[in-house]
Amino acid sequence: QVQVVESGGGLVQPGGSLRLSCISSRSRFSIYPIAWYRQAPGKQRELVATIFSGGPTEYLDSVKGRFTISRDDAMNTVYLDMNSLKPEDTAVYYCNFRASPIAWGQGTQVTVST
């Protein structure tokens, strides 16, 4: 069964940084657009950032300039570097394939708080 496994979350103060990682067992990983999503308590899951095959990226307006998505196709891994974190970034963060999603993983909790 193809899976994604997210890691790297934690508790960080406002203005801090975190790096999230997502590894997948999907074959031909490099051909797929893959994205990070987040879901805050009481809210719907939202698309945060996407990276397409070959490297083009898209971002949610509220994270532009603060978050960077990248991929290492040799390692079947996608990253999300998050800087200048704000309390409103608090959520469970998930990764999945953008156009051909698979079962959701457990996600990784990011909490931005003093």
What are 16-27's pLDDT values in tens digits?
Answer: 999 999 999 999
pLDDT of residue 81: 98
Spatial neighbors of 98 by CB under 8 A, at least 6 apart, are 32, 33, 34, 35, 50
pLDDT of residue 2: 82
What tens digit of pLDDT does each residue of 29-82 get? 999 999 999 999 999 999 999 999 999 999 999 999 999 999 999 999 999 999
List, in sequence order, every residue forming a beta bridge with 80; answer none if it has no partner: 20, 69
Q: What is the 3-state secondary structure (H, E, C) of 65-91?
A: CCEEEEEEHHHCEEEEEECCCCHHHCE
CA 21 centroid distance within chain = 7
With beta carbons less than 8 A apart as the criterion, state whether 67 and 88 touch: no
Spatial neighbors of 5 by CB under 8 A, at least 6 apart, are 22, 23, 24, 105, 106
Residue 107 zone, left/alpha/beta (φ > 0; ψ -120 to 50; rest)? left
Strands 77-82, 57-59: parallel, antiparallel or unpaired by DSSP? unpaired
